[in-house]
Amino acid sequence: MVKKILSIVLWVVTAAALVVLFVFARENYLDAPVKAVNLVPESDSGFVRRSELRDEIVGICNQHSIGTVNMVAIQRHLEDNPWIESNASFIDLDGTLNVSFKEYEPCFRVFSKDGHSVYVTDNGVVVPASSNYTPYVLIANGNFNIASDSVTYRLCDTLDRDRNIINALYWHKAIEDNPFMKNCVGQLYCNSHNEFELTVRGLEARVIVGDTCLAADKLRRLEIFMKQRLGKPETHILNTINLNYKNQIVCTKR
């Protein structure tokens, strides 16, 4: 009976000692300063300068101890960055603040009729241009209205101002789905009638594709035309190649 009581007392004392050690270790950990900031980018875009972002986060930490670092402020700072799509932060047991983030990856750049420009992602997010980074993407210009060139926002198909940009995104996806035309189309242009034209490598003529109706079919017809006619003398005298007519390609001469 005595041995049983001693055994129970020993277990209670051991458990209490472990709790005390845990509390002591936790307090020491929380009182320790943040040793370093480690950035973990999840994409290869170059909109965000790593050194500048690290300095900004170090400024938020401001030599605080681990227990007083404002993780919410860090998250909000990253969310306020117009080129960062998502982020996550944590402090490991070594006292290093690890910050992972994913930048937006644009698929084309839009120049508005008043000279402003933004990037657009595959899922319809408009991202400001940056002096730090100019990705090699398809260019769209002409009759475009941009709500803002300094903040990130999502396109809305119910707003007239976004309609031409949404149509440009539709054309971009159609071009991406056609491997031949993907290598040929150099630029999208939206004219004053809200109809789209393509600048195509190897063709001097204006290629008129109109609205997004039957976009894939129009590109297939243009692909067939180019494979049959490209390089022949008669293509150099063409002024326009119009794909707006069903199952036809209508050309005009200079």
CATH number at residue 73: 3.10.20.310
Tokens 């590109």 identify what position?
A: 219
Given 103, 123, 156, the domain boundary residue is 103
Report the domain count for the chain: 2
Task: Please write the tens of the pLDDT for every residue from 51-76.
Answer: 899 999 988 887 677 777 888 899 99
pTM of the prediction? 0.84
> Does residue 39 sit in the same domain as residue 57?
yes
Residue 49 lies in a domain: yes
Select from 82, 146, 160 the least CA-distant residue to 115: 146
Residues 53 and 173 in one domain: no
Give the distance from CA 85 to its chain's centroid.
Answer: 7
Q: Which residues span the domain enclosing 90?
A: 33-103
Q: Across the beta sheet with 138-142, what order do the strands follow?
A: 153-154, 125-128, 117-121, 106-111, 138-142, 185-190, 196-200, 206-210, 238-242, 250-253
* Average pLDDT of the chain to the nearest whole number: 85
| 99, 145: one domain | no
Predicted confidence band at 19 (pLDDT cuts at 50, 70, 90)? very low
From residue 111, how far is each of 41, 168, 202, 208 by CA, in Å? 28, 12, 24, 19
Please check whether residue 20 lies inside any domain of the structure.
no
Q: What is the CATH number of the domain that holds 173?
A: 3.40.50
> What is d(CA 246, CA 34) in angstroms, rounded to the nearest whole number?
66
Last residue of a domain, one of 103, 134, 149: 103
- Shared-domain flag, residues 128 and 88: no
Q: Which long-range contacts (CB under 8 A, 24 or more apart) does 179-185 make?
A: 180/223, 180/226, 180/227, 181/219, 181/222, 181/223, 184/226, 185/138
Is residue 209 domain-shared with residue 163, that is, in the same domain? yes
pLDDT in tens, 143-177: 999 988 999 999 988 788 899 999 999 999 999 99
pLDDT in tens, 97-146: 899 999 999 999 999 988 899 999 999 999 999 988 999 999 999 999 99
Q: What is the mean pLDDT of residues 89-94?
A: 85
- Domain shared by 164 and 217, yes or no: yes
Q: Which pLDDT does position 24 carry in this prediction? A: 38
Clarify whether residues 229 and 112 are in a common domain. yes
pLDDT of residue 105: 94
**Contact 130/47 with Cβ under 8 angstroms?**
yes
User: Which residue, of 103, 118, 150, is where some domain finishes?
Assistant: 103
**pLDDT band, very low/low/confident/very high, at 14 (cuts 50, 70, 90):** low
Strand spans (E) along 15-95: 36-41, 84-91
pLDDT band at 16 (very low <50, low <70, confident <90, very high): very low
Question: Does 82 share its domain with 127?
Answer: no
Report the percent of the chain where pLDDT is more than 90.
56
250 neighbors 242 (Cβ within 8 angstroms): yes
**210-227 pLDDT, tens digit each:** 999 999 999 999 999 999
| Residue 241 CA from chain centroid, whole number | 34
Query: How much is the pLDDT for 177?
Result: 96
Residues 123, 222: one domain? Answer: yes
Q: How many CB atoms lie within 10 A of CB 94?
A: 10
Answer yes or no: do 50 and 157 share one domain.
no
The answer as to whether 111 is a domain residue is yes
Q: Based on C-alpha coordinates, what's the Rg of the chain? A: 29
> What is the structure's pLDDT at 254?
83
- Cα 196 to Cα 210: distance, rounded to the nearest angstrom: 5
CB 208 within 8 A of CB 218: no
- Percent of the chain at pLDDT exceeding 70: 87
Assess if residue 3 is contained within a domain: no
Q: Are 76 and 143 in a shared domain?
A: no
- Same domain (yes/no): 37, 95: yes
Q: Rounded to an integer, what distance in angstroms lies between the CA atom of residue 43 and that of residue 46?
A: 9
